[in-house]
Amino acid sequence: MAKLDFIVNVLLNWSIYYRKREITHVVAGDFIKAHERGCELERAIAEVKVDHKADITITTNTGAPLDLDLYQTCKGIDTAAEITRDGGIIIVAASCFAGVGPEAFREVHASCSRPIEVLQKVRREEPLGVQWENQVLARTQLRNDIYLLSELEDSVVKDMMITPIRTIEEGLERAFKVLGSDAEIAVIPEGPLVIPLLQD
């Protein structure tokens, strides 16, 4: 078996604003040092300081191909959860043109009536091939309601314990009814590409 002595990694500009997905940096050399340098460079690009948690957070999963299904969209939801206060609402726009994702992912959520049951099921039946996304989604749902603007059927969205919406405006209107018209809003245009750092 060959020993790992050297790596070459690239960092890409994944922003929806730069659709070319250009290479921004190349790191090479000792696999630990090069990896650490790559992480430093990525953090400089992706980390964003946030003063406080918002009542409502609006996000996306950056568009195609990352918003192809709800399974992948959980990444953007997870980022939004980091800066949404307990009891707040996350509004996410993702086409989900390929559906929910793996059938097992849908089945785990649809077989439960509350997020805590999802977490208990995963713990009881571990390991499940899709458990990470079920855990991420359920953990967020314990703290936040999620409104989803997508191409999915309403019944499918509801099976996932998510509220379907037709427009972002509808989501905001509903959120304001729940949280009040003075609710603070945060916007993360590219959910999974951002690392929010909550400041103390």
- Whole-model pTM: value is 0.89
Residues 4-63: pLDDT tens digits?
889 999 988 766 555 567 888 999 999 999 999 999 999 988 899 999 999 999 999 988
Domains contained in the chain, CATH given: 7-47 (no CATH), 51-198 (3.90.226.30)
Map tokens 């899709």 to a residue: 130
Residues 148-157: pLDDT tens digits?
999 999 999 9
How far is residue 6 from each of residues 11, 34, 117, measured CA to CA in Å? 17, 9, 45
Compute the C-alpha angle 59/163/143, nearest 5°.
70
Task: List strand residue ranges (DSSP E) for the chain, in order.
Answer: 7-12, 23-29, 47-50, 54-60, 84-93, 145-149, 163-165, 185-188, 195-198
